[in-house]
Amino acid sequence: MGSRSEELMKIVPIPHNLELGVSTLPRSPGLHMSQIYGDLYQDLEPKRFVRGGTPDINKMEAGLGLESVLEEGLKGRLAERPGEFVTDEGIIYSPDLIIFNDVTRLGEIKLTWLSCREVPREPGNSLPQKMDKWLTQMKAYCYHLQTPYARLYAFFVNGTYKHPYTPELLAWDIEFSTQELKENWQMLLNHARHKGMLS
């Protein structure tokens, strides 16, 4: 008994050999829609979306982990992970989910350190401006999937930022107008052409 209490725990750091920040789906070469709306928001909100910045791999991995968990939970019941699609212009995009329920619906999954203080808790017609990039992405995907319907799942890591921080997973069904989808896609095409991403 005495000798056992004198033994100390041994801890040895080891390399985890995991490739962090890599999606479970391979990414095809070519222009991806995320490059277009990412570049657009670097122009629109340069302090928030820093051009040329290095993404936080741990945050990316947390987001990919959430996607995997939700995809697995929804698979077979409502949704499937569809893989990649290509627009007529040759732009690649890969929705998180396509949900088949009463209608065909785009599903998008986000994990964020933004506050959920201002998000709608009742039916309405807008989300906070800080979620505009998500809406731009969703509208582009919906336009090409030919559905006005989307569902946004957002996991707010720090909740409302009120102590004690309480994570919150929220979801919204969204219906876009045809005009919103067309105008959004035209804006992205104009931006891509202006920046030389497309000829």
- Mean pLDDT per block of 10 residues along the chain (199 residues) reads 63 64 68 94 92 78 80 67 91 92 91 94 93 96 97 92 90 95 98 95
- Looking at domain 28-194, which CATH architecture does it have? Alpha-Beta Complex (3.90)
Q: What is the pLDDT of residue 191?
A: 98
Check residue 58 and give its pLDDT: 76
CA 187 to CA 185: how far, in whole Å? 5
CB–CB of 181/143 below 8 Å? Answer: yes
Residue 139: the pLDDT is 97
Residue 55 has a pLDDT of 74
Distance (Å, whole) CA 193 – CA 76: 39
- Cβ neighbours of residue 21 closer than 8 Å, sequence gap 6 or more: 55, 57, 60, 61, 64
What's residue 78's pLDDT?
Answer: 65
What confidence score (pLDDT) does residue 21 get?
53
Q: Residue 138: what residue type?
A: M
Are 194 and 42 a contacting pair, CB within 8 Å? no
